Amino acid sequence: MFGISQLDPAHLQALGGFALVVVCAAIFTETGLLVGFFLPGDSLLFPVGLAIAGGFIPVPIWLACICISLAAFAGDQTGYWIGRRLGPAVFNKPDSKLFSQKNVSRTNSFFERYGSRAVILGHFVPVMRTFVPVAAGIGEMPWRKFVRYNIVGVVGWGTGVTLLGYFLGNFPFVADHVEWFTLGFVVLSSVPIIIEIIKERRERR
């Protein structure tokens, strides 16, 4: 996880336009590969919007939104087909640094609670972004249905969060305290998974 000082958009300036490539690669890995659940998707999109607003990344905001949403879509599709092709065996692994059965249990609970909407809502919840597409594939959700929900999710998350950073970045107070606003956004985005953990423990009791 990045340190708070690294959340400053000024750190992205050194990469220039290549920063968008790095961010898209991280988004694809987080959403498409099971080993990417630890990547800070929310703490990347928000600063990217801020960085574009401040001129630190020399790309138009519309291009960034399209690229990020496409990266998330491609990642979700990859995760879906991994689950569809390999089946439950994908999740039948022992706990390790890169895999946890607790995350599988939380994903199943998330799907049971929200049904198909989990494909949309999962984008806004850390860890769920990685596991929900795979679970949808394992559960053999019809691909066309998955795509419909998936498009809504990636646009709402990939474009929405980036635009939020972009528009807030036009306010001097936000631009001067970007690290703390980004950290606050990350904490806020973690609330849903905390709620799921609490509910899961109550149900076990």
Q: What is the pLDDT at residue 9?
A: 55
Q: What is the pLDDT at residue 20?
A: 87
Among left, alpha and beta (phi > 0; psi -120 to 50; other), residue 87 is: left
End-to-end CA distance of the chain: 32
Q: What is the pLDDT at residue 122?
A: 86
Element (H, E) at 188: helix 178-204
Nearest by Cα to 51 from 20, 88, 85, 27:
20
Neighbours of 31 (CB within 10 A): 31
DSSP state letters, 57-121: S-S-HHHHHHHHHHHHHHHHHHHHHHHHHHGGGGT----BTTB-HHHHHHHHHHHHHHGGGHHHH
Task: Give CA–CA dist 17/111, Å, rounded.
Answer: 37
DSSP state letters, 124-166: GSTTHHHHHHHHHHHTT--HHHHHHHHHHHHIIIIIHHHHHHH
Q: What is the pLDDT at residue 5?
A: 46
pLDDT tens digits, 88-146:
877 777 666 666 777 788 788 888 888 888 999 888 887 888 889 999 998 889 999 99
Given a cut of 50, whether residue 154 has pLDDT beyond it is yes
pLDDT tens digits, 40-74:
666 788 888 888 887 878 889 999 999 999 999 99
Q: Which residue has the tokens 């998974």?
A: 193
pLDDT tens digits, 12-51:
666 666 888 888 998 998 888 876 656 666 678 888 888 8
Can you give the pTM of this predicted structure? 0.80
Q: What is the pLDDT at residue 46?
A: 82
